[in-house]
Amino acid sequence: MSALQSLAGNSHAATTATYDVVVVGAGFAGMYMLHRLRGQGLSARVYEQGSGVGGTWYWNRYPGARCDVESMQYSYSFSDELQQQWDWSERYAPQPEILKYANHVADRFNLRSDIQFNTRVDQAVFDERENTWSVTTSDGKTVTAKYVVLATGCLSNARMPDIKGLENFKGNVYHTGHWPHEAVDFTGQRVGVIGTGSSGIQSVPVIAEQASHLTVFQRTANFSIPARNAPLTEQERQAFRARYPEIRRIAREEMKNGIFQEVPDRGALDDGGNERRAKYEARWSRGGLTFMGVYNNLALDKAANDTAADFVRGKIAEIVSDPQTAKLLQPNNHPIGSKRICIDSDYFATFNRPNVTLIDIKSNPIEEILPNAVRTASGDYEVGTLVLATGFDAMTGSVAKIDIRGRNGQTLNEKWAEGPKTYLGLMSVGFPNLFIITGPGSPSVLSNMIVSIEQHVDWITDCIAYMRDRGFGAMEAKQDAEDRWVAHVNEVAHTTLYPQANSWYMGANIPGKPQIFMPYIGGVGVYRTSPPRAMRDLR
Ligand SMILES: Cc1cc2nc3c(=O)[nH]c(=O)nc-3n(C[C@H](O)[C@H](O)[C@H](O)COP(=O)(O)OP(=O)(O)OC[C@H]3O[C@@H](n4cnc5c(N)ncnc54)[C@H](O)[C@@H]3O)c2cc1C
C-alpha cells in the first residue's frame, strides 16, 4: 500500500481516510479496477451501494435474465488461469451463474477487503489547492483521494415510470433492474409486464409459464433474434480456450463491437434476393447478436437495413398465430439494430399461449394504475402483480446522482445539462483526476462491455502509474481535445442509422433528457488507437 494512506480526524466528526484512489461501484469495472490498482501498489477503496459484487448481475435477478454476448466472450480476459479454469455451462449464462462468476473473481483475487458494501457515494468535491477529491458517502463519512474512478455502470440506474396511481396498486410491483433477492413465484397470479425492451423480452416467456394470466403492455415493438441457447459441451469450451489469446486479441483490436466473429465482406444489396434470404436464414438458425453481422452495411444503408428488418418481420408473422398480434409485434418505427437488438428464448411464440395478451399502449396509452388493474384508453386490465421492465436512465443516470464538483465549484450535472461532454468517454474538462469507466463518448454499450471495461481499466491504471512515477499532481483533458472528440462522436453517429431511433442510446426514454447519441460508434478497434493522443492532450 502506498504511503498516501493515513488516518486523520475531519470536520464531519467522522474518520477520514486518505487513499490514492476511490472507486465507485463493484461491478465488473470496479472489481477489475481494484485488482489493477493493487497491482501497482496503490491504495484504493471501493464503495458499492449493493450488498455484494457483480453490479448488473447483482441487481438484475429477474426471471430469464442472462447475457446476450456469448459467455465464452462475455468474461474477463485479464487472467489466463481464470479463463482457462472457469466453466461456463451454457452458451449464454443465466444471471445466477454470472453473479457466481463475479463472486468467484472477488474471492480468487481477494477483493472484498477493500470494498465497502451497502455504501453509496453521494458527493465528490475537488480541492484545487491540494489536487485531491473529498468523497462523502451515505454512512456520513468523508475520505480523501487523489483520484476518483466512476465505475458506476451504464445500465445501473433503474428507470421508474411516472404513471399516475402506481403508488395505489395493491399487489407487488417489481422492477427488473432492482429485483428482490428471494425468488418471486408468479404461480396462479395475473401478472402485467410493462415494457418490451431486452428485460421484458427475456422475462415474458418465463413469467408466462407460471402466471395464470400475463398481460404485456407494449409501447414500442422491438426486434429480437432467437438466442438458440444451449448447454456448452466440453469440446466447445476447449475449442475456445485453445484459441483464447488470438480470439481476445481480435475482439479487442479488430472488431467493431468487441465480439470475435466473421467479418462480412459484402453489403446486403450485393446479393440477390434468394442468396440474401438464405444468409439471413442461416444466421437466424444460428441465433444471437451475429445476425447483424451478416452484411457490412446494415447499420449504414437504409435500403440494406430494410432487407434484414423485413426478414425479421416475416419471421414474427410466421411464428405468431394471430395476425393482429403478429402485426403489433412487428417493429416498424426504427431500423433494425438502431436500438440494442434483443436476444430471446421463445419470446414471439409466447404470444400463442392462451394465457398471454398483448396490449398496444402506443395507441391506447396507460392512463392510470388502479389498485388491481391497469387502465388504458381502451379499457381496464386486471392484474395482481406488476413487473416494470422499463429500463434505465442509461450511461449518465448513475453519474448524475452523485454531486460531483470540479474546478470553480462547477458540478458535472451543470456541465452536462445539454448532454454529456467527455474526452474519449474517460474524463471531462474541469474535473481533474476523475475517470469514468465506459463513459459516454466511448464504445461502451455498443460493445462487448467487458472488452471495453478492461481497456479503460488498463488505460487508467497505466495513466495513474505514469503520473505517480513522474510526480505529476493533476491531469485533465484540454478543452479543444474534448470539443473535437464530442464533435467526432456526434459526426460518426450521424453517418449511421442509429440516430433514427428513439433509443436509450439517445436518452429518448427519459422525459426531458437531452437527446444526444451517447456511445462512440466508431468501434472498439478504431477507438483503441485513440487513447495515446489523450496523453498529449493532458496537462
Ligand atoms: C440485464 C442486462 C444484461 C446485460 N447483458 C450484457 C451482455 O450480454 N453483454 C454486455 O456486453 N453487456 C451486457 N449488459 C451491460 C452490463 O451492464 C455490462 O456488461 C457490465 O456488467 C457493466 O459493468 P460495470 O461494472 O461497468 O457496471 P455495473 O455492473 O452496472 O456496476 C456498477 C455498480 O456501481 C454501483 N453504483 C452506482 N452508483 C453508485 C454510487 N453512487 N455509490 C456506490 N455504488 C454505486 C451500482 O450499485 C453497481 O453495482 C447487460 C446489462 C443488463 C442490465
| CA separation, residue 20 to residues 146, 375, 425, 454 (Å) | 5, 54, 22, 20
Using a 6 Å cutoff on CB, does residue 27 contact ligand 1? yes
CA of 399 to the centre of ligand 1 (A): 13
SS3 (DSSP) at 520: coil
Q: Which ligand 1 atom is nearest residue 59's CA? A: 49
Per-residue pLDDT, 533: 54
Per-residue pLDDT, 9: 33
Could you give the CA distance from residue 284 to residue 266 in angstroms, rounded to a whole number? 18
Spatial CB neighbours of 464, under 8 Å, sequence gap ≥ 6: 20, 21, 37, 40, 42, 147
Per-residue pLDDT, 15: 56
CA of 156 to the centre of ligand 1 (A): 5
CA of 213 to the centre of ligand 1 (A): 32
Per-residue pLDDT, 10: 36
Identify the residue whose C-alpha is closest to ligand 1 atom 52. 56
In the block, residue with C-alpha cell 451543470? 414
Using a 6 Å cutoff on CB, does residue 398 contact ligand 1? yes
Q: Which ligand 1 atom is nearest residue 47's CA? A: 43
User: What is residue 275's DSSP assignment?
Assistant: H
Per-residue pLDDT, 130: 95
Q: What is the mean pLDDT of each run of 10 residues along the chain (539 residues)?
A: 32 70 98 98 98 98 97 98 98 98 98 98 97 97 97 95 96 97 96 97 98 98 97 97 97 94 94 98 95 95 98 98 98 94 97 98 96 96 98 94 97 95 96 97 96 97 94 93 93 92 87 88 89 48
CA of 457 to the centre of ligand 1 (A): 15
Per-residue pLDDT, 11: 39
Per-residue pLDDT, 331: 98
Identify the residue whose C-alpha is closest to ligand 1 atom 26. 153
In the block, residue with C-alpha cell 463475479? 102
Per-residue pLDDT, 184: 96
CA of 27 to the centre of ligand 1 (A): 6
Q: Which ligand 1 atom is nearest residue 29's CA? A: 25
Using a 6 Å cutoff on CB, does residue 48 contact ligand 1? yes
DSSP string, 117-175: -S--EEEEEEETTTTEEEEEETTS-EEEEEEEEE---SS-SB-----TTGGG--SEEEE
Identify the residue whose C-alpha is closest to ligand 1 atom 19. 449
CA of 356 to the centre of ligand 1 (A): 31
Element (H, E) at 490: helix 479-493
